[in-house]
Amino acid sequence: MLDPQLDARSGIPLWAQLAETLRDGIEAGRFVDHFPSEPELVEEFKVSRSTVREAIRYLRSEGYLESRQGKGTFVVASESFESLHNHRFSLAGRIAESGLAEVAELLWKGSVDEPMLADRLGLNSHHFYLIERLRGSQHERLALERAYLPRVNADSFEGVDLTQAGSLYAVLQSGTGITVTAGTDEVSAAMPSSTEANLLGVSVDEPVLVVERITYSHQEIVEFRRTILVPARVRFRAEWGR
């Protein structure tokens, strides 16, 4: 059983509270045989259908759930991770290696509240500066990138041309003094949302690769990045033990 108590007086939106409760249930293995339908969740948690749909949409985007037309919503099987030691994925580096010029289109930048992400990262503040870019070469779109920065504000990027090629970390260091020292990349497969598919020029039925990165400056988290890639247009390479 799940705890159906959600706090409407909390500063955290009801959909985010519901998503967190459902995520905890998924991670605890409570929905192996059956994930509740929208009406069941509305009845159990005493919330609106739009709240339930927003929570499910978020969990789909995070790779916890998948919707099958005519069949319902299901929990995605747990991923198995292959460790890629001493490897960091760099889209700019991959494009440069191909001999092409990188092109970046700034879709949006600004301050956002992301309580679910803050909880996932173990951060006290849920305020982030979000930079959303579409990246690729002069010939094709390769990736949709969303970088969430917990320690910067708009002033750090005043006058900075984020459509220029190059690493965001160089901008971080010059604008804020933050130096990146370590990070983790996790790669998984997912189905794109209609917006993501449209931006990347693919079908909503075409799987994409998702690279989720947590970046550190010494022991402090300075970035969470979610990059959605078109598998047919990119290639990974990892080196280990010689």
Is 223 found in the same domain as 152? yes
The whole-number pLDDT of residue 52 equals: 92
The whole-number pLDDT of residue 82 equals: 42
Is 113 found in the same domain as 55? no
Q: What distance in Å separates the CA atoms of residue 196 and residue 208, rounded to the nearest whole number?
A: 10
Give me Rg for the CA atoms of the chain.
19
The whole-number pLDDT of residue 31 equals: 84
Domain enclosing residue 41, as ranges = 14-75
- Give the highest mean pLDDT range of 89-93, 175-179, 234-238: 175-179
Whether residue 240 is contained in a domain is answered as: no
The number of folded domains in the chain is 2
Whether residue 8 is contained in a domain is answered as: no
Is 150 found in the same domain as 34? no
Whether residue 58 is contained in a domain is answered as: yes
121-151 pLDDT tens trace:
999 999 999 999 998 876 678 889 999 999 7
The whole-number pLDDT of residue 96 equals: 47
Q: Which CATH number fits the domain that encloses residue 38?
A: 1.10.10.10
pLDDT band at 79 (very low <50, low <70, confident <90, very high): very low
Is 171 found in the same domain as 112? yes
Whether residue 83 is contained in a domain is answered as: no
Whether residue 109 is contained in a domain is answered as: yes
175-234 pLDDT tens trace:
777 888 888 888 888 999 999 999 999 999 999 999 999 998 888 899 999 999 988 877
Q: What distance in Å separates the CA atoms of residue 235 and residue 71, rounded to the nearest whole number?
A: 34
Is 107 found in the same domain as 65? no
Is 168 found in the same domain as 106? yes
The SS3 call for residue 48 is coil
- Candidates 126, 146, 131; CA nearest to 196 is 146
The whole-number pLDDT of residue 78 equals: 54
Q: Which CATH number fits the domain that encloses residue 183?
A: 3.40.1410.10
CB-based contact 89:185 (threshold 8 Å): yes
Is 100 found in the same domain as 70? no
Is 214 found in the same domain as 115? yes
Whether residue 28 is contained in a domain is answered as: yes
Is 58 found in the same domain as 177? no
4-63 pLDDT tens trace:
678 877 777 888 889 888 988 887 788 877 889 999 999 999 999 999 998 898 888 777
The whole-number pLDDT of residue 3 equals: 56
Whether residue 84 is contained in a domain is answered as: no
| One-letter identity of residue 152 | V
The SS3 call for residue 53 is helix
Is 131 found in the same domain as 214? yes
The whole-number pLDDT of residue 117 equals: 93
- Residue at a domain's end among 75, 100, 117: 75
The whole-number pLDDT of residue 29 equals: 80
